Chains A and B, each alone.
Chain A
Amino acid sequence: GNSVTQMEGPVTLSEEAFLTINCTYTATGYPSLFWYVQYPGEGLQLLLKATKADDKGSNKGFEATYRKETTSFHLEKGSVQVSDSAVYFCALSVRGATNKLIFGTGTLLAVQP
């Protein structure tokens, strides 16, 4: 079946540190891959996406590259800010009758000044 595995948190970093949140997936077919973010007190929102192998999604300084050979979609940012503190969810969708998103368990990121 389709599933997403992401690193457990919490991840605690100092401001301006480098961030990596690992995400790997298992999917039948050719999935699209996503990172969603949930800021404190807010609903989930799409951060970035990639729809085919070797695509790189990017937004707000975050990047993730769709790696088919390693079935991974790791989230990276070169210099985190306090405002990046949130829960990050990796997700996939396989085109088909439902197109529903399958989410990972989420990773809490806490950035300290």
Chain B
Amino acid sequence: GAGVSQSPSNKVTEKGKDVELRCDPISGHTALYWYRQSLGQGLEFLIYFQGNSAPDKSGLPSDRFSAERTGGSVSTLTIQRTQQEDSAVYLCASSLQGRDTNTGELFFGEGSRLTVL
């Protein structure tokens, strides 16, 4: 498809299990972001990938969270030993954005809703 694709759309897991969330950005977009949307908390920045540069991991809430982006395209967000407070909608966005430009237009996927029981 032409948009940002995320999978799974819904994931229910038990506390302590690991989960992987996948994002397939728009083809040709060099920048990829992960955000977390919790009820009443707005959108929380998690991590940012830009081309071959080192990712900006400043938003990851703990070392249980990690992400990678293979071949400058698909990204996987991994949460280890999930906790109930990890329950949220995880949003991926991509952008056609260079280091010195900022159109500000991020294209978002529909999100992966994670529920930790």
Contacts and interface: CB of A to CB of B under 8 A. Distances in A.
A, B bound = yes
B108 to A, nearest CB: 4
16 contacts: A43-B4, A43-B111, A44-B93, A45-B107, A46-B105, A51-B102, A89-B42, A93-B102, A97-B56, A97-B99, A99-B99, A99-B102, A101-B33, A101-B106, A102-B45, A105-B42
Given A41-B110, A43-B4, A106-B42, 19 more contacts: A32-B102, A34-B104, A36-B106, A43-B91, A44-B106, A45-B108, A46-B105, A49-B105, A51-B104, A91-B104, A93-B104, A95-B100, A100-B48, A101-B104, A101-B106, A103-B43, A103-B45, A105-B41, A105-B42
A46 B104 contact: yes
Interface of A: 32, 34, 36, 41-46, 49, 51, 89, 91, 93, 95, 97-106
Contacts of A104: 42
A98 B40 contact: no
A36 B37 CA distance: 14
Nearest to A90: B42
Contacts of A93: 102, 104
